[in-house]
Structure 1
């Protein structure tokens, strides 16, 4: 259902820390004009953890308004409280979101059965296509392949964004439920090998700054030009890695700032890049002729 090159878009802030709606709209247009296949507001890259409820809803609303049905909007509405996730998800549906991205409950460290029941409850409460999101490096818990396979039996759970970094786990999901749930890459540096295993696309951080190049790699793969896709994957690898020299989205927001597209402002407890990492980032951006 959701496939291709999709962006986990940043939430731009003004110098005072407030949501910069005008810049956000420009970033969305930049993505669509560059061929991005779907926009995902309020993911980890969108700093959902430090948006209050009103801001969270407003960011999603502005995204839906600006996209204006040109591509799907998959709203990030996950939370570590099932009730909160249901509320955010219902709000997103009412605003016109095309789907939901639901991060695995973080900090609580639920059992696999708890994870299953969490997602089952949201699926029952909100009739929208839902994308699970497994990112154990952020949440503190890995959603096992067996749990994903169980959840694939629920009709409106249509995909999983896999950011475990574990290709064996990805392969197990595809082997056991690939006909029932789509797998999307959640790690830019693993998109190409995941596509080779059967993934349907990527929800990308790097696409914030190089949407055209990420789209070109994915499009080449699905056009059957695997050699071109492999070459583009390797060319972008250092850029993908540079987006994680500090906590996401600090490097990608800094990159956008250096490119003149938005302020680098992030909300505490995130903080600006160290001078050493800033120089490393600039070196990679210059290599790719982005600054």
Structure 2
């Protein structure tokens, strides 16, 4: 068995957690605890705090540390802990990653440093520097729609045999890209579903894990879908995907995090509003998402 084959295996639904805020805009840890409890009851496999769904770029360093510590304290043995530790600079990513490692996180989720649009060579240099300084497991996060640049094959080719590069959350929304990763890096980089409205397709191409923003507000069907596929009942998994796809589609149409939080409210677990500059949903946007979410709210 090679070193690469011995790296940790990612499986199941891993919610990309929202960060609850109270009416004054402070982190609402009481609501956070209720939210995590509900997700655990639905069957999630672990936790991913301080990703883009968690509004990490709107948190202070102290707040991010508090969130990571709170989730780590809540987690039980066997629940995977993956921390979002992104920052605008490589030095900042290293500092955040070392903090997550000290808290006992299993891995970190890292997009390219934001506001930089690095070249592929710069992407490789950045991740190699983080690995060298931290010796931490890394799940890459390719989200060109938000970051303005893709972690392309040139970078992935250079990083694929790094033992600490364990997977890639692919959020381009392009199925051909997921297929390319699954086939080109089989046994080297795990494909992680990050394009929620085509997650069923990702599963067919070998994605055994799903870092899932929608799990915040539709954890029961999402976890049931994952379990059905894992048990070989692909028809049932497709049936569930068909039922929740309209809500997924509305989520992907814009104001993603605001809709995640409104979805939590629809489920009876309010987690507050988003921080500025993210604005509130309009009455029309709420009505559209509430209608699409009804099947999820009624899920048994």
In the TM superposition, residue 250 of structure 1 has moved relative to its aligned partner by: 0.5
Contact 1:188/1:240 (<8 A) preserved? yes
Corresponding residue of 2:206:
198
2:189 pairs with 1:181:
yes
Cα RMSD after superposing both structures: 1.5
In structure 1, C-alpha distance between the alignment counterparts of 2:183 and 2:253, rounded to whole Å: 33
Q: Indicate yes or no: 2:72 matched with 1:28.
A: no
Aligned length: 291
**2:267 aligned with 1:259, yes or no?**
yes
> Is the 8 Å Cα contact of residues 244 and 251 (structure 1) preserved in structure 2?
no
Q: Which runs of 5+ in 1 are unaligned?
A: none
Whole-Å Cα distance in 2 between the matches of residues 288 and 153 of structure 1?
Answer: 40
Report the more deviating stretch, 88-97 or 195-204: 195-204
Moved over 6 A (4+): none
Shift of the 290–19 alpha-carbon distance from structure 1 to 2, 3 Å rule, reads: farther
Query: What is the Cα deviation at residue 145 of structure 1?
Result: 2.6
TM-score normalized with structure 2 length: 0.93
Alpha-carbon distance in 1 for matches of 2:85, 2:47: 14
Task: Identify the residue that residue 283 of structure 1 maps to in structure 2.
Answer: 291
1:157-196 per-residue CA deviation (whole Å, 9 max, x = no partner) reads 1010000112222222222211111010111111111111
Q: 1:81 matched to which residue of 2?
A: 89
Number of the residue aligned with 2:69: 61
Q: Unpaired segments of 5 or more residues in structure 2?
A: 1-8
**What is aligned with 1:44?**
52
| Structure 1 residue aligned with 2:104 | 96
TM-score (norm 1): 0.96
2:171 corresponds in structure 1 to 163
Alpha-carbon separation, structure 2, partners of 1:185 and 1:139 = 18
